[in-house]
């Protein structure tokens, strides 16, 4: 009798495990560093060839109003936690040897998916802290780590500021090769060796197309009509496109493509020489060119193909959406700002947000409500807060003090006509909402201090 009960329990566990895996999709998230809004074909770009990216975009749903943060680390923190920068305190870039990172009190998406039974892996750029072991990816929910911790590494030597920045499972790794190639190769290896009893969460944050502008010469040959830094950018993006094609092929060859949700996004608007047209502004600004990312989601049979969604969403929304999709638990100590956008993606429903926040700091923020966007102390058009920006560049990019701008994005996506004076009541309503959303904001001077749950 005892044997029969044990055997029955074994069969139930086996069947339940198979059922869970079958109903939990693999999740592959491509995050492209500094990719400009209009440099991909699916967003109207014609100068640079992105066939693999475009095929995925047109085979899925393009997210026309997908918001991120103005620079790298804040977007990554938003993705990992489902919480605005005002809650995590991650407003700016985590630089090498900085004595802070994503606060340890934050539950990460990798933690949540790991708890839901996923194998979790990151191959690419982390950029959320490394000054103590507990801030590293393998301590934040990832089973596997490969790649680098910071931006602006040399693509061939993987050196940043005279120090090697390349690791496997958070242990230093001396390895040669073009980083985009290596990141893709590792992703393909993870897919091929995936535990068949577990679904996979594969986070692929490429360092391409972030500076320095480096790429093997072979990628430059198709672009005889382009010169200077933009020529290098074209080659770098072509290499990223090729890498994404290789990863999709690995999913197909292993029979996992049909059960894999693929998401693609830039981490912020592109800096020059990227092209964000028709958006105004660049990386480092809360103008549309700094915070509206080119993005899409693709899962054959689950997400509609050849569809474009205009409804706004934010990077924070992927946290609750993916955890819920994975049959994970959203109950946690710290409140989640993100909303489940799955009905919006799959059924054409409205955005679950009444307002979306983008911030450089609590004093420099933007709020979108419906088609309207309020800018408070926005940065200049050519702003750029990059790791290698000079003091002169940073001074030029300073926000204009005490300015309020209001734009109707439905008819003015380029934010050319400030309607603040013509719409005083709307400005008052939106300012009140913005004040409400900023009232408990962590101040920049407290960046890196551990966030605790409210009592």
Contact between residue 388 and residue 376 where contact means Cβ atoms under 8 Å apart? no
Domain stop point among 320, 347, 374 = 347
Identify the pLDDT of residue 446: 60
- Residue numbers of the domain that contains 436: 356-446
Q: Which of 62, 68, 84, 59 is nearest to 32 (CA)?
A: 68
**Residue 436, C-beta contacts closer than 8 angstroms, at least 6 positions apart:** none
Do the bridges between strand 26-32 and strand 260-266 make them parallel or antiparallel, or are there none, so unpaired? parallel
Identify the pLDDT of residue 447: 54
Distance CA(328)–CA(381), nearest Å, equals 41
Helix and strand element counts for the chain (H, E): 12, 19
pLDDT in tens, the chain (455 residues): 444 444 444 444 334 333 444 589 999 999 999 999 999 999 999 999 999 999 999 999 999 999 999 999 999 999 999 999 999 999 999 999 899 999 999 999 999 999 999 999 999 999 999 999 999 999 999 999 999 999 999 999 999 999 999 999 999 999 999 999 999 999 999 999 998 899 999 999 999 999 999 999 999 999 999 999 999 999 999 999 999 999 999 999 999 999 999 999 999 999 999 999 999 999 999 999 999 999 999 999 999 999 999 999 999 999 999 999 999 999 999 999 999 999 999 999 999 999 999 999 999 999 999 999 999 987 654 444 445 554 444 444 455 567 899 999 999 999 999 999 999 999 999 999 999 999 999 988 665 454 443 33
3-state secondary structure of 431: helix
226 assigned to some structural domain: yes
Is 72 annotated in the active site?
A: yes
3-state secondary structure of 293: strand
366 assigned to some structural domain: yes
Same domain? 211 vs 328: yes
Same domain? 297 vs 362: no
Is 127 annotated in the active site?
A: yes
Considering the candidates 72, 188, 294, 358, report the single residue annotated as catalytic. 72
Same domain? 391 vs 430: yes
Angle between helices 72-81 and 318-325 (to 10 degrees): 30
Identify the pLDDT of residue 395: 45
Considering the candidates 49, 66, 114, 127, report the single residue annotated as catalytic. 127
Contact between residue 266 and residue 283 where contact means Cβ atoms under 8 Å apart? no
Same domain? 100 vs 195: yes
CATH of the domain at 117: 3.40.720.10
1 assigned to some structural domain: no
**Buried b vs exposed e over 284-296: b needs ≥16 C-beta within 10 Å?**
bbbbbbbbbbbbb
Identify the pLDDT of residue 23: 84
3-state secondary structure of 385: coil
CA distances from 26 to 8, 103, 112, 265 (A): 29, 27, 14, 17
Q: Which of 360, 363, 374, 348 is nearest to 428 (CA)?
A: 374
Identify the pLDDT of residue 17: 37
Same domain? 286 vs 420: no
Same domain? 361 vs 341: no
Domain stop point among 290, 321, 347 = 347
Same domain? 180 vs 294: yes
Domain stop point among 313, 330, 347 = 347
Which residues face 307 on adjacent strands?
61
Same domain? 341 vs 360: no
17 assigned to some structural domain: no
Same domain? 302 vs 393: no
Identify the pLDDT of residue 7: 44
Same domain? 314 vs 222: yes
Q: Which of 46, 76, 231, 257 is nearest to 151 (CA)?
A: 76
Q: Which of 6, 48, 393, 437 is nearest to 219 (CA)?
A: 48
75 assigned to some structural domain: yes
Helix (H) or strand (E) holding 417: none
Contact between residue 74 and residue 85 where contact means Cβ atoms under 8 Å apart? yes
Q: What's the total number of domains in the chain?
A: 2
């Amino acid at each position: 009798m005892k044997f029969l009960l044990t055997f029955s329990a074994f069969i139930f566990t086996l069947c339940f495990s198979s059922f869970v895996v079958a109903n939990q999709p693999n999740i592959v998230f491509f995050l492209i560093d500094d990719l400009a809004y209009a440099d991909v074909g699916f967003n109207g770009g014609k100068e640079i060839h992105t066939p693999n990216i475009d095929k995925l975009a047109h085979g899925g749903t393009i997210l026309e109003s997908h918001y991120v943060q103005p620079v790298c680390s804040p977007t990554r923190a938003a993705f990992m936690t489902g919480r605005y920068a005002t809650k995590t305190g991650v407003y700016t870039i985590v630089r090498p040897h900085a004595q802070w990172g994503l606060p340890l009190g934050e539950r990460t998406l990798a933690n949540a998916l790991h708890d839901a039974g996923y194998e979790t892996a990151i191959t690419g750029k982390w950029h959320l802290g490394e000054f103590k072991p507990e801030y590293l990816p393998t301590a934040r929910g990832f089973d596997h780590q490969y790649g680098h911790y910071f931006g602006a590494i040399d693509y061939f030597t993987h050196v940043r500021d005279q120090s090697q920045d390349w690791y496997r499972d958070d242990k230093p790794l001396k390895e040669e090769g073009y980083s985009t190639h290596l990141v893709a190769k590792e992703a393909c290896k993870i897919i091929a060796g995936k535990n068949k009893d577990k679904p996979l969460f594969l986070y692929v944050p490429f360092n391409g197309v972030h500076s320095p502008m480096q790429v093997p010469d072979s990628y430059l040959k198709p672009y005889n009509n382009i010169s200077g830094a933009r020529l290098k950018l074209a080659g770098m993006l072509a290499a990223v496109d090729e890498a994404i094609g290789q990863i999709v092929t690995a999913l197909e060859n292993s029979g996992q493509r049909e059960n894999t949700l693929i998401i693609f996004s830039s981490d912020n608007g592109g800096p020059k020489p990227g092209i964000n047209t028709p958006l105004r502004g660049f990386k480092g600004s809360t103008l549309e060119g700094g915070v509206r990312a080119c993005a899409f989601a693709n899962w054959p049979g689950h997400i509609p193909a050849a569809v474009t969604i205009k409804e706004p969403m934010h990077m924070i929304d992927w946290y609750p959406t993916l955890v819920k999709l994975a049959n994970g638990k959203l109950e946690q100590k710290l409140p989640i700002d993100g909303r489940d956008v799955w009905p919006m993606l799959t059924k054409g429903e409205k955005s679950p947000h009444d307002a979306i926040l983008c911030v450089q700091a609590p004093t420099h923020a933007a709020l979108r409500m419906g088609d309207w966007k309020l800018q408070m102390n926005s940065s200049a058009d050519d702003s750029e807060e990059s790791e290698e920006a000079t003091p002169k560049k940073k001074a030029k990019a300073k926000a204009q003090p005490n300015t309020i701008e209001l734009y109707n994005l439905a008819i003015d996506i380029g934010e050319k006509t400030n309607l603040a004076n013509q719409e005083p009541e709307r400005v008052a309503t939106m300012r009140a909402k913005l004040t409400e959303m900023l009232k408990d904001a962590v101040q920049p001077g407290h960046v890196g201090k551990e966030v605790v749950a409210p009592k």
